[in-house]
Chains A and B, each alone.
Chain A
Amino acid sequence: MRLFCLEVKRIIMSRRTLVLIAVAILMSVISAYLPISFESINRPGENGEVIELDGLPAIKFKRDYYAKTAGDITSEKLAEALRVYQSCVKEYGTLDDVPLDVYIENIMAIRPMLKGLSEAFADPKTGIGAELMDIAPDEVEQYFYERCASHLDHVMNLEQKEYPTAGQFAADEYAKLKQPFYLFPGMSRDAFDYTTLYILVLSILCTAIAAPIFANEYQTGSDSILRCTKYGRMKLAVTRILAASSIFIVIFVLGMSIHLLILNLAFGTDCLETSFQMLFSVINLPDMNLGQLQIVLVLAGLISVLAVISCTFFLSAKCKDSLTVLLISMVILFLPIFAYGALGDTWIGGILPSAGIGMKNNFLYQLCDFHFLHIGGMSFWTPYVILISAVVEIPVFMFLAVRFYCRHQVV
């Protein structure tokens, strides 16, 4: 424990670590502030003028406004909303012609509800969403959730035609979803995008802190002294890895807590009850609400970050200088982003420690999508592949780091 505390102190007291921790905290605030600042709404003033609200006032206006319509999205409620929408649009010609005050009074409240209808009633052959004016409210009332399930089947037929096991998996998962969906509109999708972006930032910062953990000692020659001490081999390596990992966990949890606290205070915790499907796609598979999604993203992000830094520990124990370790670690960190862009879903992109971190390939997007990796006739949903790979890689890379550190020879 004494060595652990001294090791934590050694890492924390490094100027480099202090700067990177400060950047991590600053970025948690910035990445929470940006999606809040993107919120905007126009509303009519008392004299009929248009008042533009941005940021927190816009969010507050929406929260008060949407509170009236929040609740379970039953087929009946959806059908009624569609009827209101269609009658209003018919009266003025097109949606763009509806006056702002009428739009806010009649349509704005039901728009988030109607978003899923286009998808559920999409053309089965092309997957193109239906126009709201072309959907029959009676059909919505009778078959909305059945149409969602059949649309999922169509999508799986389009995307995973050759892999029936993938389609079966999707159908089984979808059947488990809690229905009707729940909606408290207002939470921004941008907020989730920035959460995943912040996880990428944290990965970069933690990698920068982890890179010199062993390699710097090799580089400065201090390793020659430390490995001659009683606890200078395996115990030092294990303690160093545990101390660094503990610091990363604290940085991650602290950074994410600040980030989510700001977001949730701004957008309100009521929105977190909303079903995953009501913010993203009505045919998405995750059986969770947005609050649970935040927790899942934090846990998956933490696992991915630990996998990335475990890999960095291994490289640090293997390579002789910090810069080389940092460069290789960064390549590994960004490889899934480029691999996804160039090749789409591949096993290589899926099993890398950083597979769940990035832009289009990140864990959130994988949850929202229907990407599967296949071995023979078996199909594996990419979020599971990413998580299982990362969980396996953490102890493997840490073990290799200890082993390579112990076997290191001074030259």
Chain B
Amino acid sequence: MELKIEHLSKQFKDKKAVDDACITLTPGVWGLLGANGAGKTTLMRMIADIMMPTSGAIYYDGADIRKMGESYRNIFGFLPQDFGYSRDFSVKDYLEYVAALKDVPARETTKKINYLLDILTLSDVKRKKIAKLSGGMKRRVGIAQAMLNDPKILVMDEPTAGLDPGERVRFRNFISEFSHDRIVLISTHIVSDIEYIATRNAIMKAGKIVDIGTTDELVKEIEGKVWTCSVPAGDLSSYEMRLRVINQRGEDNGQVSIRYLSETPEISGAVAVSPRLEDLYLWYFPQENLEGEGK
């Protein structure tokens, strides 16, 4: 099973949101990393066949998804960045409605819904109006609807936005289990959410896919470029001006331990450390401040 994206481009009036993207997605969890405006959402919408590409095509096992129509949508699950719903729907009514649209047999629907609500810890609120749920709960309802038809291809745009750390861990574990023999594509700013579960990652920048590989393969590219050392707390601001400091931690002795990206050590006594996926992300996108990480 493969989903082949061939020379896909999307031109808006004055901006090329996706620029000649080529990638072949195979079973497993794929992390799609990129800064705001990199083109991730546009790419996902084209994969979901709700946005027409300006050029290029997407093939599922050799068949053009636009021509597959209903048969493609039958094996597809999608959670968009903004989870929209009718205000009058309760969680149960909404999932029943989507299940009918996904052609989940009526006799299996209740069982399937209960299973997903249980996994996503939503059972207690299944009769509540979605509009009255918290942001995290709404997001989980969105995740549940995407998985109702046991999709072979699951695309989720920022699925962990609004989830608390515990929910994110449960989500990661669930997705890891679910991804067996399926293609799961997840875009997120929260790099740690996919760092440990992504089979492979794709990095998008200015509409282009600039890098593809496993987490290990990708982080190798910045091996020897991630450094750590202790500096006096009073000098921190001057270091921040000169270097790409990605983390800092106060120490008891008036020193601050910093982690930074650089081709060379720059500071005497700096020690090279093993790079992580978020280091790579910041290498590519230096303007990002890892807000989502809560660091």
Contact = CB atoms under 8 A, between A and B. Distances in A.
Given A15-B88, A227-B50, A409-B52, A221 B82 contact: yes
B106 interface: yes
B45 A229 contact: no
B101 A226 contact: yes
Interface stretch (A2-10, A38-46, A294-302, A331-339): A2-10
Nearest to B145: A225
A13 interface: yes
Interface residues of B, number: 36
Contact of B49 (A3, A9, A228, A411): A228
A391 to B, nearest CB: 31
A228 B97 contact: no
A168 interface: no
Contacts of A225: 78-80, 83-84, 98, 142, 145-146
Given A228-B73, A232-B101, A222 B78 contact: no
Interface in A212-260: 216-217, 220-233, 236
B93 A228 contact: no
B78 A230 contact: no
Interface string B153-165: 0000000000000
Contacts, number: 90
Interface in B137-173: 142, 145-146, 149
A14 B97 CA distance: 14
A225 B138 CA distance: 14
A6 B45 CA distance: 27
B51 A229 contact: no
Contact of B73 (A15, A216, A220, A232): A232
A224 B80 contact: yes
Interface string A1-32: 01100100110011100000000000000000
Interface string B13-27: 000000000000000
Given A228-B76, A231-B103, A223 B97 contact: no
Given A6-B96, A224-B78, A229 B101 contact: yes
Contacts of B142: 225
A6 B97 contact: yes
Interface in B58-92: 69-70, 73-74, 76-80, 82-89
A221 B45 CA distance: 12
- Residue from A6, A229, A230 having most chain B Cβ neighbours under 10 A: A229
B48 interface: yes
B98 A226 contact: yes
A410 to B, nearest CB: 4
- Residue from A3, A217, A227, A228 having most chain B Cβ neighbours under 10 A: A228
A220 B86 contact: yes
Nearest to B74: A230
Task: List 4 A-B pairs, minimum CB-CB distance, nearest first.
Answer: A221-B84, A222-B84, A220-B84, A229-B101
24 contacts: A3-B101, A10-B97, A14-B86, A220-B86, A220-B87, A221-B82, A221-B83, A222-B84, A222-B85, A224-B50, A224-B80, A224-B82, A225-B145, A229-B73, A230-B70, A230-B101, A230-B149, A232-B101, A233-B73, A236-B101, A409-B50, A409-B52, A410-B50, A411-B51
Given A221-B80, A225-B142, 17 more contacts: A2-B106, A3-B100, A10-B88, A10-B97, A13-B93, A216-B86, A220-B86, A221-B82, A224-B50, A229-B73, A229-B102, A229-B149, A230-B74, A230-B103, A230-B149, A231-B101, A233-B69
